[in-house]
């Protein structure tokens, strides 16, 4: 009996020690509030939300309609295409000229993009095929690239810098734009500064602290499909070379969808500050990037932007559809409520 009493006392003490304090918080006695969703709240709520979405949708759609976009395919599949000869994989250092006209002012600032289709930059093995330590300027990884770069890790047992599939497949077509004025071609200046994300240029990618930059690449080779090494990407601007080259940074930020476009240049020169005037133009293309092997297409895009960004009709339509559904559902709920509830209240 004594043993049973002792055991009972021990159990009581253990239960007391494990019991939460007798406070409003631990005993869940805090005041609470939850909405009572009556018809008088839900129906007007749906109407207000629907009207708000419709208003936003109209604003987005009208704004998108006002954005000007000029797209020109230059893949060269069709025989009548000026780039048909260049599409042949045996052609090297091929240049083609694309003539086009603008019937009214393409308001500035004008953004110049290149576009690719059927190109899956979101493929997992492609996306991880790079060495972040190497791209941040760590010289140790120049001589010993990460195995994630495979199969573009070494070339004849010499380390590749920058290594990996993404860097190796960098877009390398180049463009020069001319406006024909009174029968004379006038080159349109293209601004390539600041086209990459600020975080990529200032934080994510860094060049080694070696002067001259070329010395940091001793004992390495350029990517297999590159025509020149990273430290010579921009011969006109020494600060735009290596891993902080603007075109390189734009390419390294992968696209989420197989059909995409990437910013190539901006047209902001004083003569074209207001945009590209109506007239005849010629685009000189150094055709280097092969796309026919994977049934891809190449295009150039000239576009301006608005407060909502580039042209995107889907966003405005989506808001209009959701807003209309909310208003429609509020009407349905009102009819149901009036038919089944009002008589009972009377």
Confidence grade of residue 337 (pLDDT, cut at 50, 70, 90): confident
Calpha distance 268→110 (Å, rounded): 7
Calpha distance 76→117 (Å, rounded): 14
pLDDT in tens, 202-223: 999 999 999 899 999 999 999 9
pLDDT at 301: 96
Is residue 229 over pLDDT 90?
yes
pLDDT in tens, 141-200: 999 999 999 899 999 999 999 999 999 999 999 999 999 998 899 999 999 999 999 999
pLDDT at 179: 95
* Nearest alpha carbon to residue 226 among 241, 215, 210: 241
pLDDT in tens, 254-309: 999 999 999 999 999 888 989 999 999 999 999 999 999 999 999 999 999 988 88
Is residue 104 over pLDDT 50?
yes
| Mean pLDDT across 51-59 | 96
| Mean pLDDT across 8-24 | 69
Which tokens sit at 196?
């990459």
263 or 26, which is more confident? 263
pLDDT at 244: 95
Is residue 6 over pLDDT 60?
no
Helices (H), the chain: 2-18, 39-65, 124-127, 132-135, 140-143, 165-168, 198-199, 246-252, 313-340, 342-345
Q: Which helix (H) or strand (E) holds 188?
A: strand 184-188
Contact indicator for 63, 310 with CB cutoff of 8 Å: no
| Mean pLDDT across 237-247 | 94
pLDDT at 185: 92
pLDDT at 346: 44
pLDDT at 102: 94
Confidence grade of residue 8 (pLDDT, cut at 50, 70, 90): low
Mean pLDDT computed over every residue of the chain: 90
């Amino acid at each position: 009996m004594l043993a049973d009493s002792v055991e009972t006392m021990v159990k009581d003490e253990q239960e007391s020690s494990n019991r939460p304090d007798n406070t409003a918080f631990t005993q869940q006695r805090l005041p609470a509030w939850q909405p009572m969703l009556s018809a008088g709240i839900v129906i007007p709520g749906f109407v207000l939300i629907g009207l708000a979405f419709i208003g936003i949708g109209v604003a987005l759609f009208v704004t998108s309609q006002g954005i000007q976009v000029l797209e020109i395919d230059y893949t060269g599949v069709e025989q009548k295409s000026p780039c048909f000869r260049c599409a042949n994989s045996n052609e090297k250092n091929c240049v083609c000229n694309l003539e086009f006209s603008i019937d009214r002012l393409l308001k500035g600032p004008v953004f110049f993009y290149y576009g690719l289709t059927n190109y899956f930059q979101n493929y997992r093995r492609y996306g991880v095929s790079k060495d972040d330590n190497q791209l941040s300027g760590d010289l140790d990884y120049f001589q010993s690239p990460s195995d994630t770069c495979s199969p573009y890790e070494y070339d004849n047992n010499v380390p590749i810098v920058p290594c990996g599939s993404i860097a190796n497949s960098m877009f390398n077509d180049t463009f020069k734009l001319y406006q024909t004025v009174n029968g004379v071609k006038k080159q349109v200046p293209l601004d390539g500064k600041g086209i990459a994300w600020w975080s990529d240029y200032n934080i994510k990618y860094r060049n080694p602290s070696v002067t001259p930059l070329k010395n940091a690449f001793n004992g390495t080779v350029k990517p297999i499909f590159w025509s020149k090494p990273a430290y010579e990407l921009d011969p006109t601007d020494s600060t735009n070379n290596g891993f902080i080259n603007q075109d390189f940074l734009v390419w390294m930020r992968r696209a989420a969808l197989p059909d995409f476009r990437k910013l190539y240049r901006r047209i902001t020169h004083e003569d074209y500050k207001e945009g590209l005037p109506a007239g005849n133009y010629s685009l000189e293309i150094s055709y280097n990037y092969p796309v026919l092997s994977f049934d891809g297409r190449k295009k150039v895009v000239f576009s301006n932007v608005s407060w909502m960004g580039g042209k995107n009709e889907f966003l405005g339509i989506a808001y209009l559809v959701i807003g209309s559904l909310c208003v429609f559902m509020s009407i349905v709920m009102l009819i149901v409520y009036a038919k089944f509830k009002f008589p009972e209240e009377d």
